[in-house]
A = this chain, B = another copy of it.
């Protein structure tokens, strides 16, 4: 076979179909559709604010290999569907994504699965004279809520989460007893600042009742537990605190199968002020940007089957 990819003769070059190169895993769709739903049935309006992504999986071989788009539900169509579905209400990000997943897998024979994900942004009513206003809101800031539905045929995996929840304790954290080698210079400490930006995702048990869960209420409670547990116990290391945070969530929420964390250790270094004749008894810190520790783990239940395809879908494709 001559090297047909040289393109030396211009754009008419074609590729030998027998080169053994094949299409692997793939998905496509519309990302970050910024939909804001206002419910105005009464004078007291409600607002839901989401960034929704839809990606389809199935038989898209012809589009990749032959330039045949007969199966390619346009990403523009996916976007329109998201807006139309929002007209009927969101409810919770998870419920909304489940509805989208059902629509796409049932509407097109060759769509056998997909992933639908959302970020949602919290708003609270502006306080006027001690009361929340009917139709004026201020964005909460703080963490961003995430949701993901992975469809594989009839099966649904639901993963909820959050990121950007920044917490800090000014004491009752230390780091001691670690191994020392040639490259170790870090002094042990019994008292340091512990700070992190919580990224967490929890996967719901996949059974018939999952769709009936009150995802909004569970979200609020998981956030509360994460914050509370962060305060408890002396932290021997971020690893131990992270595991405690995960454990309390699983103990309190049997509907959650497992929880994963990615926690930067946001270093706050005590500034050495001695050269300037100033003592510094753990009062003045330099908040460092990079590098940072990065502590990650899954907390799960004994003997439970792993669901790698759900977690794979939670993350960027490449």
Categorize the interface residue count of chain A.
35 or more
| A179 contact from B38, B70, B87, B273, Cβ within 8 A | B70
The docked-state distance in angstroms from the alpha carbon of A298 to that of B60 is: 12
User: Shortest distance in angstroms between A170's beta carbon and chain B's nearest beta carbon?
Assistant: 5
- CB nearest neighbor in B for A52: B291
The docked-state distance in angstroms from the alpha carbon of A64 to that of B76 is: 40
A65 cross-chain contacts in B, Cβ below 8 A: 240, 243
User: Shortest distance in angstroms between A132's beta carbon and chain B's nearest beta carbon?
Assistant: 10
A5 cross-chain contacts in B, Cβ below 8 A: 248, 251-252
| A178 contact from B55, B72, B278, B300, Cβ within 8 A | B72
Given the contacts A246-B21, A278-B84, A293 and B31 also touching, CB distance less than 8 Å: yes
Q: Is A172 among interface residues, defined by CB-CB distance under 8 A?
A: yes
Copies of this chain in the oligomer: 4
6 A–B pairs (Cβ distance < 8 Å), ordered by A: A5-B248, A5-B252, A13-B232, A25-B298, A32-B292, A76-B185
| A169 contact from B27, B135, B264, B300, Cβ within 8 A | B135
Q: Is A30 among interface residues, defined by CB-CB distance under 8 A?
A: yes
B80 with A38: CB separation less than 8 A: no
User: Shortest distance in angstroms between A19's beta carbon and chain B's nearest beta carbon?
Assistant: 6
* B-contacting residues, A175-223, CB 8 Å: 175-179, 181-186, 193, 199-201
| A38 contact from B51, B183, B278, B283, Cβ within 8 A | B283
A284 with B166: CB separation less than 8 A: no
The docked-state distance in angstroms from the alpha carbon of A172 to that of B42 is: 14
| A168 contact from B8, B136, B233, B264, Cβ within 8 A | B136
